[in-house]
């Protein structure tokens, strides 16, 4: 796929890295930004950018510029690979772009951990509960919607608690932090009832950048339970058995290059780009692009909007 990159936000780096590591999957001939003077090789005219040969436009821009750019690309008949920037939009603004041609870069269902957990769902039968701690708003909603088969359904009732607390700072978006500084955080607990199906989300405001947290998940089905560590289910004789997930990586120190995930010795998730040194997030985005451009199975704009509508409650 040949795609123009519109925007230079921090997530734009995912696409640039993928294009360097997987040029056969993604080629970026042009980067467009309204602040073109900030970096060499970036054009400041959308017309100039769109004049380059391309199949799609990757929208990775600020929240303020996201909707105007999406509308302009819609009016021009462009196909987009859109970021998950729907949360700030009003319902009518979402509806205005819901039928755009393209895909949404909601990568988490295609990353090794959550991809393996979703693959294990048939082992535990009908699922009635999911608890997540590790993803915020629309990202958590994307997993819960699939596990509970929610579609566009919204909860019949919800309970919540916001708990402020202080903890030693260990990191930020800029990298690791070593020192005595404390940071103020808020733990957000949400319990959503979907008429017999329960979604519990537990997320702290510093969770992505703290050394004290990992990703936790628990999926409860009629015949067993799936967690981030593995599956407890019934064997052929009806006896409970524990099967651990094993993540097979090229580099165990940087979490790069996950090649496959096994469950009790059986492969349940495989990276089709193994050996290319992709991070888990890059694997998820590369898989989305592959499904969109090769398999013609897009994660549609409408799906991303449904994630956002549920994610606003979290």
For the stretch 46-99, pLDDT in tens is: 999 999 999 999 999 988 999 999 999 999 999 999 999 999 999 999 999 999
d(CA 56, CA 79): 5
Nearest C-alpha neighbor of 68 from the set 89, 39, 49: 89
What band does 173 get if pLDDT is binned at 50, 70 and 90? confident
Q: Taking 80 as the threshold, does the pLDDT of residue 37 lie above it?
A: no
117-160: pLDDT as tens digits: 999 999 999 999 999 999 999 999 999 999 999 999 999 999 99
> What fold characterizes domain 3-105?
Rossmann fold (3.40.50)
Is residue 10's pLDDT more than 80? no
Residues in a beta bridge with 185: 165
pLDDT band at 236 (very low <50, low <70, confident <90, very high): confident
pLDDT tier at 252, thresholds 50, 70, 90: low
Confidence band for 256, pLDDT divided at 50, 70 and 90: low
Q: Give domain limits for the chain.
A: 3-105, 138-212
Phi-psi domain of 138 (left: phi exceeds 0; alpha: psi -120 through 50; beta: other): alpha
Quick one: pLDDT at residue 250? 76
> In this structure, what token pair is assigned to residue 136?
């915020």
Residue 240 above 70 pLDDT?
yes
Cβ-defined contacts of 276-282 (< 8 Å, 24+): 276/21, 276/22, 277/21, 277/250, 277/251, 278/17, 278/18, 278/21, 278/22, 279/254, 279/255, 280/111, 280/112, 280/113, 280/255, 281/14, 281/107, 281/111, 282/14, 282/17, 282/18, 282/21
Which pLDDT band, with edges at 50, 70 and 90, does 226 fall under?
very high
Q: What is the mean pLDDT of the chain?
A: 94
pLDDT for 223: 96
């Amino acid at each position: 796929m040949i795609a123009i990159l519109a925007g230079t936000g921090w997530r734009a780096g995912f696409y640039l890295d993928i294009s360097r590591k997987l040029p056969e999957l993604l080629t970026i001939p042009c980067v467009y930004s309204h602040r073109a003077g900030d970096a060499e090789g970036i054009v400041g005219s959308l017309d100039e950018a769109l004049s380059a040969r391309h199949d799609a436009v990757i929208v990775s821009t600020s929240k303020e510029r996201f909707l105007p750019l999406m509308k302009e690309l819609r009016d021009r008949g462009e196909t987009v690979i859109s970021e998950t920037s729907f949360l700030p939009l009003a319902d009518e603004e979402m509806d205005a772009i819901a039928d755009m041609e393209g895909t949404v870069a909601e990568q988490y269902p295609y990353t090794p951990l959550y991809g393996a957990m979703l693959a294990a769902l048939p082992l535990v039968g009908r699922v009635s509960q999911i608890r997540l701690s590790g993803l915020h708003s629309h990202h958590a909603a994307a997993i819960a919607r699939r596990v509970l088969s929610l579609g566009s359904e919204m909860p019949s009732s919800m309970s919540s608690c916001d708990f402020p607390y202080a903890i030693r700072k260990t990191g930020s978006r800029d990298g690791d932090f070593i020192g005595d500084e404390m940071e103020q955080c808020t733990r957000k607990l949400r319990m959503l009832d979907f008429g017999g199906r329960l979604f519990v989300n537990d997320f702290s405001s510093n969770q992505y950048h703290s050394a004290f947290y990992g990703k936790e998940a628990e999926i409860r089905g009629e015949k067993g339970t799936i967690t981030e560590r593995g599956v407890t289910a019934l064997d052929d004789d009806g006896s409970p058995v524990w099967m651990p997930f094993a993540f097979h990586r090229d580099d165990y120190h940087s979490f790069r290059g996950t090649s496959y995930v096994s469950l009790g010795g059986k492969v349940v998730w495989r990276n089709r780009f193994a050996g290319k040194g992709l991070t888990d997030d890059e694997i998820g985005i590369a898989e989305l692009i592959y499904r969109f451009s090769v398999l013609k199975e897009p994660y549609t704009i409408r799906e991303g909007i449904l994630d956002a509508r549920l994610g606003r409650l979290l």
